[in-house]
């Protein structure tokens, strides 16, 4: 069975990725299985570049097929910030609670009509020889004035999906797994992964 190393130590992301790739004919591991793997500084200028850097670094280290993912929140009223700095918006080792609090402070007084945002995800698939593919997914929404719900992670309790009038924090995870930025990117990656595995079997 082919091993796919997911280049992350984010438990929330890993859980979602495993769910999105369930039933694939692969063994999914992560950086928790490679504690001595090189630390990756996310210093690129785009989500795609960060995803590729993660995937390429770990693919070269392990010699295995590797998935790198980078995602974040872009808020229109803030000039698309926090963007690639989403996980460290309020500091290097910031918690989700701290990041959410900073976002709400910066949007204080901003009306609902100007609180548009979108989640962005880029996923890169790399083996030890080449870049297999890079996929992108987005999900539009609004930032609520206060946190709602306990599901998900990151900015999910603040990210309202107008179609359901609920935040990702309130939505059933099964619904999020169909409409989220990560779901959209991983539907594309899953198809590429299946084609890649088929090519190995030939």
Q: Give the residue numbers spanning the domain of 46.
A: 2-201
Residue 92 is predicted with a pLDDT of: 87
Residue 202 predicted with pLDDT over 80: no
Buried b (16+ CB within 10 A) or exposed e, 167-177: bbbbbeeebbb
d(CA 18, CA 25): 12
> Across residues 152-160, what is the average pLDDT?
96
- Please check the confidence at residue 138 and state whether its pLDDT lies above 80: yes
The count of domains in the chain is 1
* Sequence-ordered list of residues with C-beta below 8 angstroms from that of 92, at least 6 positions apart, any chain: none
Q: Please give the C-alpha separations between residue 191 and each of 21, 68, 135, in angstroms, as whole numbers.
A: 10, 16, 11
What does the pLDDT read at residue 93? 87
Q: In the annotation, is 70 catalytic? A: yes
pLDDT at 104 over 80: yes
pLDDT in tens, 164-198: 999 999 999 999 999 999 999 999 999 999 999 88
What integer best gives the mean pLDDT of the chain? 95
Give the CATH number for residue 34: 3.90.950.10
- The active-site residue out of 36, 43, 70, 172 is 70
Model pLDDT, residue 1: 86
pLDDT at 131: 96
């Amino acid at each position: 069975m082919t091993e796919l190393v997911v280049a992350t130590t984010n438990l929330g992301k890993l859980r979602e990725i495993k769910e999105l790739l369930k039933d694939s004919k692969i063994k999914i591991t992560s950086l928790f299985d490679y504690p001595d793997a090189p630390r990756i500084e996310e210093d690129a200028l785009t989500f795609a570049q960060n995803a590729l850097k993660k995937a390429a670094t770990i693919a070269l280290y392990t010699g295995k097929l590797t998935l790198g993912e980078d995602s974040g929140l872009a808020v229109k009223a803030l000039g698309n910030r926090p963007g690639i700095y989403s996980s460290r918006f309020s500091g290097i080792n910031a918690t989700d609670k701290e990041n959410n609090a900073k976002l709400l402070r910066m949007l204080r007084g901003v009306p609902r009509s100007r609180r548009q945002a979108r989640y962005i995800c880029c996923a890169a698939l790399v083996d030890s020889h080449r870049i297999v593919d890079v996929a992108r997914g987005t999900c539009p929404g609004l930032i609520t004035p206060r946190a709602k719900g306990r599901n998900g992670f990151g900015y999910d309790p603040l990210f309202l999906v107008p179609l359901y009038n609920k935040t990702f924090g309130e939505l059933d995870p099964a619904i999020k797994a169909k409409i989220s930025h990560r779901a959209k990117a991983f539907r594309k990656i899953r198809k590429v992964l299946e084609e890649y595995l088929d090519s190995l079997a030939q």
